[in-house]
Structure 1
Amino acid sequence: MHLSLLTFSLLTSLSPTILVSAYPIKADGVNCRSGPGTSFSVKQTYARGKDISITCQTTGTAVKGNNIWDKTPDNCYVADYYVKTGKDGFVTKKCEEAPKPSSPKPNKLPGPIKNDYPYKNSCSANKGIDPWNYFRCNCTSFVAWRINKRLGIKFHNKWRGADWGNANEWDEAAKKSKVKINKTPKVGSIAQTNAGKKGHVAWVVAVNKDKGTVTVEEYNWNTDLGYGKRTVDKGKFQHYIHLELE
């Protein structure tokens, strides 16, 4: 079939208007927020490989050194670091108006230091499974609860595609997930050790740098399937996992 010059010209001029650019998400569980920054609330979560359109771009909180945020048709903003655009920089127009972050609020971490674990009254040999796919009343279940409620991260035992199973697997899962892990405790971080049959994790609530101690909340340590709090030398734990908001 032969196209007339007029028909070819019309198709050529129309083609840019019918092409829609879509960019894949390159990590698991990427949050799309109400504004361009990690302090804004999460409105949507995207899975790895999901194609998104970018309506406009703006600047905000830097994530891994990239301060560009992409607005999607879901009317929320995702960190450009997690979007495969093929370019370091803007790929479309700048957003005319974008929410501004409010003044910094006092740090609410670690939150109330009390046994507010939702399954505290149903701890027994037949514990059942929690919403994060852990056995209730184990250390991993309690810390998963803290991460979800205190850090606002939708954490579970397959978070970011890694195997966050027993506590002695959390250090390797953190490395695989490219989460910061070191020997330095911080309020709101996860204390982790591989010691024992399945290891142990706890929620850091206080750090005394002068004494080199750390205070943690935990489950299933001194009290079988129960809550506890203790202050120990920070070296009692092998690693501290820092699940930063993104």
Structure 2
Amino acid sequence: MKFFASVILCLAVLASVSSAYKIYKATSVNCRSGPGTNYKAVKTYTTKDNIKLTCQTSGQNIKGNTLWGKTTDNCYIADYYLHTGSNGYVVKKCGGSKPPSNGGGGGKIPGPMTNDYPYKNNCGGVDPWSYYKCQCTSFVAWRINKRLGVKFHNHYKGPNWGNANTWDNAAKQTGVPVNSKPVPGCVAQTNAGRYGHVAWVAKVSGNSVTVEEYNHGGTERYGTRTVPKSSFNYIHVKV
């Protein structure tokens, strides 16, 4: 029995600080003050670094993985980029993790496909995010706030996001990723037409993407479409 107790104590000590792990799937990754990309980057790790974890916690979803590790440098790194050899916890769970300072984790991502836009029966005037109600930009701004928990508005992080055809440039100016790889909960964006268009990505299947949107074709109404991925750019405000 004494031997058994000693083994348990030893395992507990080992679990408090991990072995060293390496970065993969990227050449460098930011380590942040909390478990999400909305937290401040305080350190950058590269593939040459040996990273040790003190605990792990649930945080922002990074390509299907919500686990984040707290390093011995007292910052958080997404498990997606860390080669731990496991999809689950390899050290103890962190206690008392706080939600992101931008207002929380929002609702479920991407959430149900439904016309839950709060101004659907009141299309006149300007919304709280400085867009005209029932326009595509207003709908997407609301979804970002409601479902991502990000306090997005027409001057998010400084520049004027303006019409939909300037969202991609504004995103790039503020370090928000823009690429051709849609994931549920990101923003579909195109510069086509006089003002461009933005929509909410609800589903991704093969080479197709299903979006929810307002004012497609000038209707000031809610709708959904399934189109080729190549129809849009994709702005990753959080996911």
- Normalising TM by the smaller chain, what interval? 0.5 to 0.7
1:159 aligns with 2:156: yes
Compared CA separation, residues 37 and 232, structure 1 to 2 (3 A): same
Letter in 1 for 2:35: G
SS of corresponding position for 2:143: helix
User: Residue 56 of structure 2 contacts residue 69 of structure 2 at CA under 8 Å; is this kept in 1?
Assistant: no
- TM-aligned CA deviation for residue 108 of structure 1: 2.8
Find the counterpart in structure 1 of residue 111 from structure 2: 111
Gaps of 5+ in 2: 1-32, 41-53, 61-67, 77-93, 100-106
Counterpart mapping for 1:1-246 below 5 A: 36-38=34-36, 99-100=96-97, 108-123=108-123, 127-209=124-206, 212-222=207-217, 224-237=219-232, 239-244=233-238
Query: For 1:170 and 1:68, how far apart are their aligned partners in 2?
Result: 35
Instruction: Select the structure of larger CA radius of gyration.
Output: 1
Letter in 2 for 1:199: G
Gaps of 5+ in 1: 1-34, 47-57, 72-77, 80-96
Query: For 1:138 and 1:213, how far apart are their aligned partners in 2?
Result: 24
Query: For 1:117 and 1:69, how far apart are their aligned partners in 2?
Result: 43
Compared CA separation, residues 203 and 187, structure 1 to 2 (3 A): same
SS of corresponding position for 1:235: helix
SS of corresponding position for 1:120: coil
Query: For 2:183 and 2:172, how far apart are their aligned partners in 1?
Result: 18
SS of corresponding position for 2:188: strand
TM-score (norm 2): 0.59
RMSD (Å), alpha carbons: 3.6
Compared CA separation, residues 184 and 100, structure 1 to 2 (3 A): same
Letter in 2 for 1:159: Y
TM-score (norm 1): 0.57
Q: How many residues align?
A: 163
SS of corresponding position for 2:157: helix
Query: For 1:69 and 1:241, how far apart are their aligned partners in 2?
Result: 32
- TM-aligned CA deviation for residue 36 of structure 1: 3.9
User: Residue 222 of structure 1 contacts residue 228 of structure 1 at CA under 8 Å; is this kept in 2?
Assistant: no
Compared CA separation, residues 98 and 156, structure 1 to 2 (3 A): same
Deviations, residues 117-175 of structure 1 (Å, cap 9, x unaligned): 0000012xxx2000000000000000000000000000000000021110000000000
User: Residue 117 of structure 1 contacts residue 142 of structure 1 at CA under 8 Å; is this kept in 2?
Assistant: yes
User: Residue 36 of structure 1 contacts residue 98 of structure 1 at CA under 8 Å; is this kept in 2?
Assistant: no
User: Residue 202 of structure 1 contacts residue 217 of structure 1 at CA under 8 Å; is this kept in 2?
Assistant: yes
Query: Stretches of 4+ moved more than 3 A in 1?
Result: 58-63, 65-71
Query: For 1:164 and 1:68, how far apart are their aligned partners in 2?
Result: 35
Letter in 2 for 1:38: G
